[in-house]
Amino acid sequence: MTDRNESLRGRFQKGMDKKAHQFVASIPFDKRLYRQDISGSIANTRMLAKQGIISQENAERIISGLNSIRDEIARGKIEFTTEFEDIHMAIESRLFEKIGEVAGHLHTARSRNDQIALDMRLFVKEAIDLTVGKIKQFQQVLLDIAEANKEVIMPGYTHLQQAQPVLLAHHLLAYFEMLQRDVERLQDCLKRTDVLPLGSGALAGVTYLVDRDFVAKQLGFSAVSKNSIDAVSDRDFIIEYEATAAMLAMHLSRLAEEIILWSSAEFGFLEIDDAYATSSSIMPQKKNPDIPELVRGKTGRVYGNLISMLTVMKGLPLAYNRDMQEDKERLFDTVDTIGSCLDVFIGLIKTVTVNSDRMLNAVNSYTLATDLADYLTRKELPFREAHNILSKMVKYAVSRGKSLHELSLKEYQKFSPLFDDDVRDISVETSVASRNVVGGTAPKQVIIALARARRIISR
């Protein structure tokens, strides 16, 4: 196979040291960009022919060769080795083998600097679409389980202490909102990713009369870059994807933590399906929540990729520097990690068993303390005073090993004469129903929220 890297060593008297060559080679990982690289090359070739920079005949031979190479790679017929420095040179070398010296026109009016910037932007655009699609699938599963359990009441927590009763559906819809913000951030990231860098050359632009708008249209970009130096040295779009992915991973990790807690014997709120749990090698009774634990653990990995990229870019002078080669493995790993976490969570949540009785029975009467304070406030007692009365009542009940339900009306009236027989009407169910405000946990509001969420993911 012809070594096209030789053309890049014209001023050097000897070849690169073998270990040094292996050190700088990116082909072991950037081979993943072959589809994007070939698509960019085809679009650029069409433009060169349209502009009369190369002949239509040569353009057709190049495009035919590139399509053939894409098919060969897809079928595993090409072995990538570090003989080639990167995916660009590997494809170009194979093109020389297939069509001869005509392949030399392929690199007209571009540099590997704007070429790799193009490949990465195409990849991130696809990654955004893929990630958004998986998030929407996960949102759908969350809505399905929320809908199926929309009457289930559970303890709501702050500081992991029981606070007020809420609907399980309302709790799950909180994650829907988090995920929707992730979708919106990714869609916003797409705006800044959707910019064509090709035509920027190495850093100063190109001397040919190219039609960048034509190439942009061919490749589905909505805009072209406005500064050639920035275009080849910008990796903000990768960092932005990484940052959004890190927040998405954080949201998944929070849910993972709750699944781990809720599936424990102490909570018993749900059971993970056997297909998404593991057994112990020594304790036969164990059903370990390894899937959510790994999702929680992989969040640190996604964070690390973001910090790595920020650190790589923080001290680079303009324009392109080889340090930027480090962007690919970090990005690929994040895309793969986030994708696998979403995939496995979709299956886990879809098959989880909710223990509604255990959730309801776990709600202790002290979570109604705020409702009782509100009861007094509606009788024109200042809320701060009502809060103080209920604090004393709770302390009294706890000291006697009683729930608030078990206190007699006479005991209630020791703390305030405003308490009357109707105080017995306050229950877990009335507490939930009374939060009938937009965004509240009342059943009416949750039904509205579920319908709104369905509309959002159907867009």
Residues with a known catalytic role: 159, 280
CA distance 53 to 208: 8
State how far the Cα of 415 lies from the Cα of 388, in Å rounded to an integer. Answer: 10
> What burial letters (b/e) apply to 390-426, b meaning 16+ CB within 10 Å?
beebeeebeeeeeebeebeeebbeebbebbeeebeeb
Closest CA to 4 of 89, 62, 73: 89
> Phi, psi at residue 153, to the nearest 5°?
-105, 140
Residue 385 has which token pair? 């005073």
Q: How many residues does the chain have?
A: 459
C-alpha–C-alpha distance, residues 408 and 159, integer Å? 30
Residue found under tokens 């009788």 = 379
Nearest to 176 by CA among 148, 141, 150: 141
Hey, what long-range contacts does 385-394 have (CB within 8 A, 24 or more apart)?
A: 386/416, 389/415, 389/416, 393/369, 394/366, 394/369
Q: Is 52 exposed, middle or buried (0-12, 13-18, 19+ CB in 10 A)?
A: exposed
CA distance 143 to 406: 37
Kind and range of the H or E run holding 231: helix 228-233
The identity of residue 437, as a single letter, is V
Q: β-pairing, 195-196 with 270-271?
A: unpaired
Spatial neighbors of 54 by CB under 8 A, at least 6 apart, are 45, 48, 105, 108
Please give the radius of gyration of the chain, using alpha carbons only, rounded to the nearest integer. 31
List the one residue out of 440, 434, 431, 439 whose CA is nearest residue 155: 431
Helices and strands per DSSP (H, E), number in the chain: 18, 6
Give the list of residues 6+ apart from residue 211 with CB closer than 8 angstroms, or none.
Answer: 47, 50, 51
